[in-house]
Structure 1
Amino acid sequence: MTQQKAPSQRTTVKRVPQRADYEHHTIYQILDEGLVCHVGFVADGQPFVIPTAYGRVEDTLYIHGSPASRMLRTLQQGIDVCVTVTLIDGLVLARSAFHHSMNYRSVVVFGKATLVENAEQKLTALKAFTDHVILGRWEKVRSPSRQELAGTIVLSLPLTEASAKIRTGSPLDDEADYQIPVWAGEIPLKLTAATPINDSRLDSSIQVPVNISNYTRPQTGVA
């Protein structure tokens, strides 16, 4: 049986609640397919929403960056944070302007971030960042040096207070509008990779690996 998170007051979806999904596997699949999260927080009375890369290890989300980052310095103080990830699956074109929409999968996470100080956990998080972008990359490249590790802040955010929201399917027009003679339906969208471009200083004997030449994001599908 799929494990389902008990929604908190903050994660309970109130607008179109039938689109909510609190199951672990749904939340994890959306996070694993996405590439960028948006981190919302308040610093000195000013709200900020910052896009950044992330990685997931089991029930923990990791973000990282430079010690000079205002976002990371602020989050270390244990303030409330809201992290969102959104995947757009299609444009939904209705017969009326009012009912145009998008098909999407999104996750909202609430909590407080914690500084990762344990060296082993920090390396695990950095591996998660790297392999989240392209699976298997960590094993092929140079590991971070001590100086690089010291110059990188890693924060962890538990996925204990998270929810997903999903829209699928056709437009939902008013019944009278179905008689309007205009095309309606969905334009599916997906992220695709173009042909890899070699670094100008790449040794000509090095071939493009299969996981790069055939790069795709995890295709978890639409719930």
Structure 2
Amino acid sequence: MSSLEHEIDQEKLSLTQRTKIGRMPSRGHYERELVYQILDEGLVCHIGFTVDGQPFVIPTAYGRVGDRLYIHGSTASRMMRSLAQGIEVCVTVTLLDGLVLARTAFHHSMNYHSVVIFGTATKVQDEAQKLEALEAFTEHIVPGRWAQVRQPNHQELQVTSVLELPLHEASAKVRTGPPNDEEQDYSIPVWAGVIPLELTASTPIADSRLQKEIILPSYLHNYTRK
């Protein structure tokens, strides 16, 4: 069992026609805490929306505060301006855990944890809430970083748009374990199993203009997304 599935709060999100898992329903999960844990481990979400009949799917960073997902971007961004109008969006986050190699081509698969969110976003107007969201972005990527860096000034806040999306209509989908071959295919003489995958950080590389007396902060030692 993945560490993401340990000690999960059993409070469930409300099931809707959009969040109900149709394909492989046994892999569907609606526990709020599992959805939060997947979001908190991921780094990039993909936002799907349609403008004038043209579909778009845009990858972007995000942050979570309680039951709200926050995204940010330039005030000139087409995505930010479109989403601020209250159009329907679909947001996805996927953690790839492994490659599943079966004895037949048909049953090759992947192990993963994923979340799909539906809803409409709202523009954050309050400056204090905007700063809270920007702190969430920074701390989501590198915990401990916000307290050390210069925080956004008034001009930077003016050119930055922040949107919030409630995490009310969401679900998770998870696949774990070995390949599921047909019973008659287990005798095929070919290697089968799982190649585990995970996102790992290499040794941090200092900026060439970094002052020589500045050492690597403790929160960057052994950086991990787990």
TM-score range, shorter chain: over 0.9
Two-structure CA RMSD over aligned residues (Å) = 0.7
Counterpart code for 2:29:
D
Deviation at 1:51, TM superposition (A): 0.1
Does the residue aligned with 1:179 lie in a helix, a strand or coil?
Answer: coil
**Structure 1 residues not aligned, in runs of 5+:** none
CA distance in 2, matches of 1:142, 1:52: 22
Partner of 2:12: 4
Partner of 2:222: 214
CA distance in 2, matches of 1:180, 1:138: 54
Structure 1 position 145 matched with structure 2 position 153: yes
TM-score (norm 1): 0.97
Structure 1 position 170 matched with structure 2 position 178: yes
Deviation at 1:59, TM superposition (A): 0.2
Deviation at 1:2, TM superposition (A): 2.1
Partner of 2:211: 203
After TM superposition, which residue ranges in structure 1, 4 or more long, deviate above 6 angstroms?
none
CA distance in 1, matches of 2:190, 2:198: 25
Query: Aligned ranges for residues 53-72 of structure 1 at < 5 Å?
Result: 53-72=61-80
CA distance in 2, matches of 1:95, 1:172: 9
1:129 to 125, 137, 140: 137
1:103 to 111, 114, 117: 111
2:125 to 111, 117, 124: 117
CA distance in 1, matches of 2:137, 2:71: 8
Deviation at 1:213, TM superposition (A): 2.8
CA distance in 1, matches of 2:127, 2:116: 28
Partner of 1:73: 81
CA distance in 1, matches of 2:146, 2:51: 34
Partner of 1:154: 162
Work out the number of aligned pairs and report it: 218
**Structure 2 residues not aligned, in runs of 5+:** 1-8
Partner of 1:42: 50
The answer to which of 5-14 and 156-165 deviates more is: 5-14
Identity %: 66
Partner of 2:96: 88
TM-score (norm 2): 0.95
Does the residue aligned with 2:164 lie in a helix, a strand or coil?
Answer: strand
Deviation at 1:44, TM superposition (A): 1.3
CA distance in 1, matches of 2:190, 2:53: 48
